[in-house]
Amino acid sequence: MRIITVFIAMVSGLAILAAYFLKGLFPVLGALQSQLLNAAILLAGVAALSGIFNLLSVHAGKVRRGEKGGIYSALLVVSLFITFVLGLILRPGHEAMQVVVMGIILPAEAALMGVLTISLLYAAIRLLRHRADVTGIFFLLTVVIILFGSATLPMIGSIPLFGDFSRWWSQVWALGGMRGILIGVALGTLVTGLRVLFGADRPYGG
């Protein structure tokens, strides 16, 4: 069974990859690629449903066992059930469903964004507690330079010359570092993909 799983994964992956390069020469590869990708999208849709059931079962279990924070889990289960049933009956485009999205989900996410701002500020303040080294100091210095470079101060406006310095700092040093990191991430992604493609890594339990 394990060998069959690995075989199916490798052949599907190689067929999709081959189609990217060779579908001009072999049109059958293009058709196969679109069939496989459609199947993957369909499976991803089913996985979303399975993910919701997983969320439901974990939180229902918390309520049943009376775990700490169980009240929030109960709230989640009830809300999920009501929204799911309403969505099935009324369809997602219905006005009541829009109220759920615009009146509950969006404000809740906006509130989380607000909390996130405070968390980020707090993280910046305690940065030197975690990392009192050259990298930490440069990181904080860059944040301050870019923040003041883009800010307009009351009575003064933009700080003379500082805006140009900030732009130079972000366009040369920060952007250079960013590109270096992105090249590293791209190489890592490429090599991880190759490992999965040739079955060295099997995240599907094979």
Partner 1 sequence: MMNFIELIVLAVGALLLGVIALWKRKSPAKLREIPALARLSRLLGLSVEDGTRLHISLGSGNLLDMRGGSALAGLAMLRHIAERTSVSDAPPVASAGDPLLGMLSQDTLQAGYKAAGAAELYSPSTGRVAGLSPLGYAAGAMHISTNENVSANIMLGHFGSEVALLADAAERGSTAVIGASDNLTGQAVLFASAQEALVGEEVFAAGAYLGVGASHAASLTLQDLFRWLIILLLLGGAAAKLLTSMGIL
Q: Out of 9, 86, 97, 127, name the contact with partner 1 by CB under 8 A.
A: 127
By CB under 8 A, is residue 99 in contact with partner 1? no
Q: Out of 15, 146, 148, 202, name the contact with partner 1 by CB under 8 A.
A: 202
Q: Out of 41, 132, 155, 156, name the contact with partner 1 by CB under 8 A.
A: 41
Q: Which single residue is written with the structure tokens 């969006």?
A: 106
Q: Out of 11, 28, 58, 75, name the contact with partner 1 by CB under 8 A.
A: 58
Nearer to partner 1, 8 or 185 (CB): 185
27-35, 68-76, 87-95, 165-173 -> range binding partner 1 (CB under 8 A): 68-76
Residues of this chain that bind partner 1 (CB under 8 A)? 17, 20-21, 40-41, 43-44, 47-52, 54-55, 57-58, 61, 67-69, 72, 109, 112-113, 115-116, 119-120, 122-124, 126-127, 130-131, 139, 178, 180-185, 187-198, 200-206
